[in-house]
Amino acid sequence: MVGIIMGSQSDLPIMEQAADFLKKLGIPYELTVVSAHRTPERMFDYAQKAKERGLKVIIAGAGGAAHLPGMVASCTTIPVIGVPILSSNSIDGWDSVLSILQMPGGIPVATVALNGALNAGILAAKIIGTSDEDVSNKMQQYQDSLKEKVLGTVSDIKAKHPNQYD
């Protein structure tokens, strides 16, 4: 249901965060390497056949010039979520962020934070949840767990540093 692609194997530790989240929610995904620069034919084929393979969302991670998310978005009507990755050939990751963020009008790519594959997985699940009640319910449970986690830390801090605010 979700395609997860990356420019090279070195991106795998980041992109696995999205896969792990989707796996936890029971959302089917595929994960592979598709390079916009080194395997352009594979990239075109992947994007053009994604819909017929049943994909609903594509998460594309790339470092450096980061053309993969935008090029894939230009070849499919499926929503694409771009994950800029801090790569070894980047000074600070801004090249990847801006390459994905600054898409021309008509070819949108939803963009998450640098190395933000977890958020890409969460966003993909939310998109799928708009038409899948089971996924929507799982996302609500996930968000509720975040609330409980924060409230738990509030109690811990208040125990050490008493104050009057609940």
Q: Please report, in range form, the residues annotated as the binding site for substrate.
A: 8, 11, 38
Cβ atoms of residues 55 and 22 within 8 Å: no
**Neighbour-count burial of 139, counting CB atoms closer than 10 A to its CB (0-12 exposed, 13-18 middle, 19+ buried):** middle
Question: CA-CA distance, 149 to 157, in Å (whole number)?
Answer: 13
**What are the binding residues?**
8, 11, 38
Say which amino acid occupies 140.
Q
Of 103, 115, 162, 134, which Cα lies nearest the Cα of 17?
115
Phi and psi, residue 107, nearest 5°: -130, 75
Of 46, 39, 41, 47, which Cα lies nearest the Cα of 9?
39
Question: CA-CA distance, 166 to 162, in Å (whole number)?
Answer: 10
